[in-house]
Structure formats: C-alpha cells, structure tokens
Homo-oligomer: A and B are copies of this chain.
Amino acid sequence: MHTTQNFPEEELKPLLEKYREFVKQELFPIDLKVVTGPFRSYLSQLESLRSKAKTLGLFAPHLPKNEGGVGLNLVQFAQVSEILGQSPIGHYVFNCNAPDIGNMELLHLFGSDAQKETWLKPLQEGIIRSCFAMTEPEHAGSNPITMSTTAVREGDLYRINGHKWFTTAADGANFTIVMAVTNPEAESPYQRASMIIVPLDNPGYKFIRNIPIMGESGEDYLSHAEVRFENCLVPVSNLIGSEGQGFTLAQERLGPGRIHHCMRWIGICERVFDLMCKRAISRELDFGKPLAEKQTIQNWIAESRAEIKASRLMVLDTADKMQNLGAKAVREDISTIKFFVADVLMKVIDRAIQVHGALGITDDTILSFWYRHERGARIYDGPDEVHKSALARSILKNYQTNE
C-alpha cells in the first residue's frame, strides 16, 4: 500500500473553509434554479460570482499562481473539488469544470506557445469556453482507438471529416479539441489518432443538436452536443503534440480527470447525504415519530456514510500516489476509484430519493437532477465493466509472470 498524506494539511484548512463558506452562501441558494434553467439567463449572475471568487483569491484553484490560479497541487485540489462538487455549478464558477479543466491541463503540458497564447490563456481567465470531441455514436466510447473521424493532411492544412457526440458543452464554446485519425496505416491502433484544435466558427464545423439527455437538452455549458466535421479545414499548427499521439494524450488527460470526477461525486454524495439526514429527522410519520427512527433509514444513513468515507480515502490515496509517483503508477487505482465511487454515488442518491418519498422524484430538490445526470457516471470515461476487467487483468498479470 502506498502512502497517504495527512488530509487536510493544517495550512490548507482555512482555505477549504473559505470554499465551503462560498459554496454554502453563494451557490446553494441558487443552484437548483440555475440547473433548471434556462442556463443562459443566469450567465451574468454566474459571471459576478466568478468575479467574487477572483477577488477572494479562490478562482481557478488548479492553476499556478502566476497564471492566475490558487496554485494547489493535485491532492489539495482534490479536496477543494469535493467541496465545489456539492453544487452542480461549483466547478463552473471557479473555472475548473470539465471539459475545460482537461483542455487546460492538455494545452499546459503539450500546447505550443502560440496555442497557449491563443487558446489556453483566455480559457484560464474564464473568458472563453472549450469542448472535447472524442466519442462517436458509431463506436463504443469505451474503446477510443476505434474511430471513424479522419484528418487528412493537405499541405499546411488538415481536412477533417467525422461525426461526434457527447461533445460536452459545445454549445457556446469557442473551440474544440477533436480526436481524428491522421495515421490510419500506423501499426499500433494506439498510434493512429491525433488531437487537433478546431475553432467553432470554422465553416466545416456543424453543430447538429444538444442531445436530449434524461429529459433535458440543456444549453450552453449544461449540454452535450452532437456535431459533424464536414471538410473542416484547419492549419497544421492546430495539431497538439505530434501526429499519432492522440491516444497517449487522451490517457494523460483522463487520469487526473477521473480523480476530479471522483472527488466531485463525493461532493455530490455529501450534499445528498445531508439532505437525506435533514429529511429523516424532519419528516413525521404516524404518532409524531420522525422517519429517522425507522431502522431501514438508519441502515441507509450508516451504509452511505461508510461508503462515502471509503470513497474519499481511496481517491485521496490515489491522488497522492499520482502526485508523487506519476500517472503510470496509479493505473489500477484509477480504475478502482472510477467504478467504486460511481457505484457509491448512485446508491447514495437513490437512497436519498427514497427517503424523500414523492418529493424526491420532483425537481423541487436537487436530487432528481443528479439522479438523472449522474447516471452517466457509470458510463463516461469508461463504463464500470471495462474498468473492472482492466483492473482484474492487470492484477492477474502478476500472477502469470510469477508462475
């Protein structure tokens, strides 16, 4: 077992408290309304909150101080991420929301100077938004090496053709990073695709629709688009890294991305757990006894608390290990937390809904939003089944070589 640092470090505590306070005072009172939408009608209000976050020195917790951020390391940010995750608009307000945060990490590590100047800088400042076009409706998303989108080089240009969906937050974004096959002849399927930046005002980019998901198409940041690239021409300088490196970069992008997701899910769990407890003590059954006296409810509260605690310890342990030993060292851990925490998330939400009774299925609480929009947690970034198989095969490999 790898080392787990003290969480939180003494010096981090006041900062965490500030985030906690902000989320509770500024976000909890409005977030249900914001996600009920229409989202665009709240853009200016969210903009003010971002300003306030900047003023308080809380904006962009993941960015280095000299790039306008708070300068937290991965483990520290993970703890902030849990707090922000308690509100569905938390990460957005602090400019550390997916998919932008992943794109920032990517451009920070692999972007050219020009790319950084043009795309990364305004992204970090929260002036523009971005998206990431990888998944294709025709292929299993869990297998990003099978891909029909192509980028054919023609002189100084790439000609991109393809069909993507679940391009999260494309609506209103300024650019996308697209995964496209540039080297179909490469021997390894892992070396065929590349990542290319496409500004969304490019005439070859076609926005088809915000996919209706669980009853809502959403809009702007809160949406997942289906898009097409039809003879979309972009300069070769829009390539990130080198040709054929797309899959490798995607892995880099997904590693910390899964930690961010997991900590956000734990944040959701805590908010939901809190609602469950409040409901349990306030809802009266017969004879004035609160729901909280029912043993079934107590079981759910106890099991949820245990599972949330286990989740947090595992994710922080993974973050710490990744920070100290690098992404390769935590491949098994990442798979582990991905399926374990997603499962806990859905169980805790489901119990909270049941405790709320009829109220739980209405949109009068935040529970229904997460019940619907986090069902995807067991699917996106690799479904449970893929992560379980990957983990098991990795474990069993040691047995085979030891034989």
Chain B residue with minimal CB distance to A385? Answer: B296
Docked-complex contact B360 and A371, CB < 8 angstroms? no
**Residue A248, interface by CB 8 Å:** no
**Residue A232, interface by CB 8 Å:** no
State which residues 326-346 of A face B: CB under 8 Å: 332, 335-336, 339-340
Give the contacting residue for A214; candidates B8, B361, B376; CB below 8 A: B361
Roughly how many angstroms separate A395 CA and B309 CA in the complex, as a whole number? 13
**Residue A146, interface by CB 8 Å:** yes
**Residue A21, interface by CB 8 Å:** no
Docked-complex contact A285 and B6, CB < 8 angstroms? no
Check A357/B383 contact, CB under 8 A, given A3-B6, A298-B388. Answer: yes
**From residue A1, how far is it (CB to closest CB) to chain B in Å?**
6
The digit string for A199-231, where 1 denotes a CB below 8 A from any CB of B, is: 000000000000111111000000000000000
Docked-complex contact A305 and B372, CB < 8 angstroms? no
Known: A215-B216, A281-B396, A298-B388. 14 other contacts (CB 8 A): A36-B212, A143-B285, A214-B215, A277-B396, A280-B399, A296-B299, A296-B385, A297-B392, A302-B339, A303-B388, A310-B310, A353-B375, A358-B376, A360-B379
**From residue A400, how far is it (CB to closest CB) to chain B in Å?**
6
5 CB contacts below 8 A, A to B, read A137-B359, A143-B286, A165-B358, A281-B399, A306-B314
B contact residues around A360 at 8 Å (CB): 379
Binds B, one of A42-50, A125-133, A153-161, A362-370: A362-370
Docked-complex contact A285 and B391, CB < 8 angstroms? no
**Residue A166, interface by CB 8 Å:** yes
State which residues 373-402 of A face B: CB under 8 Å: 375-376, 378-380, 383-385, 387-389, 391-393, 395-396, 399-400
Roughly how many angstroms separate A339 CA and B358 CA in the complex, as a whole number? 16
The digit string for A72-88, where 1 denotes a CB below 8 A from any CB of B, is: 00000000000000000
Q: How many copies does the complex hold?
A: 4
**From residue A386, how far is it (CB to closest CB) to chain B in Å?**
10
Interface size for A (C-beta < 8 A) is 89
Chain A residues engaging chain B, CB cutoff 8 angstroms: 1, 3-8, 36, 135, 137, 140-143, 146, 165-166, 211-216, 277-278, 280-281, 283-286, 291-292, 294-299, 301-303, 305-306, 309-314, 317, 332, 335-336, 339-340, 353-354, 357-364, 368-369, 371-372, 375-376, 378-380, 383-385, 387-389, 391-393, 395-396, 399-400, 403
Check A314/B305 contact, CB under 8 A, given A358-B165, A383-B357. Answer: no
B contact residues around A385 at 8 Å (CB): 294-296, 299, 354
**From residue A141, how far is it (CB to closest CB) to chain B in Å?**
6
B contact residues around A281 at 8 Å (CB): 396, 399-400, 403
Docked-complex contact A363 and B298, CB < 8 angstroms? no
